[in-house]
């Protein structure tokens, strides 16, 4: 359904961007503050976001080569003035962490956050939610 809407040349680019920001981004990041993001998921989210922006902008005429082409990743990144999906998820996760920190000690989310589930299995450990929050805080805080 949105595929046809984004390809429609009669619809303004401004309206398409508003739809992307209000519908697609909200749907895509629903409950994202609880996800531990793997490299694979990050890559898939970035690819999807760039596909949507390419679909919205459509082909661009290149005067030097005198032909139509699609926008490159660098051009998309330079033209977009808002945080990426990954950055939005990181900020949502930090907001949720701060919210849980302010809760009383007897609340279930706070007890679950600090619950010790025992020892971890052998091999490379999977990223825990706390590890992701720590990394997000380091990145957003400017230490990384």
**pLDDT tens, per residue, the chain with 144 residues:** 677 787 788 888 888 888 888 888 899 889 888 888 888 999 999 999 999 998 888 888 888 888 898 888 898 888 888 888 999 999 898 888 889 889 898 998 888 877 777 777 788 877 778 888 888 888 877 654
Helix count (H) and strand count (E) of the chain? Answer: 8, 2
Query: Which sign, positive or negative, has the C-alpha torsion 66, 12, 72, 78?
Result: positive
> 75-105 as b/e, with b when 16 or more CB fall inside 10 Å?
ebeeeeeeeebbebbbbbbbebbeebeeeee
pTM over 0.85: no
Confidence at residue 144, expressed as pLDDT on a 0 to 100 scale:
42
């Amino acid at each position: 359904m949105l595929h046809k809407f984004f390809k429609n040349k009669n619809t303004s680019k401004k309206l398409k961007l508003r739809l992307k920001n209000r519908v697609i981004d909200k749907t895509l990041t629903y409950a994202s503050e609880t996800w531990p993001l793997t490299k694979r998921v990050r890559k898939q989210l970035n690819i999807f976001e760039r596909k949507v922006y390419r679909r919205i902008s459509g082909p661009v005429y290149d005067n030097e080569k005198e032909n139509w082409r699609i926008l490159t990743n660098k051009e998309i990144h330079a033209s977009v003035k808002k945080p990426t999906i990954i950055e939005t998820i990181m900020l949502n996760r930090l907001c949720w962490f701060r919210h849980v920190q302010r809760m009383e000690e007897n609340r279930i989310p706070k007890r679950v956050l600090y619950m010790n589930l025992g020892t971890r299995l052998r091999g490379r450990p999977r990223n825990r939610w706390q590890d992701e929050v720590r990394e997000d805080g380091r990145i957003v805080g400017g230490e990384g």
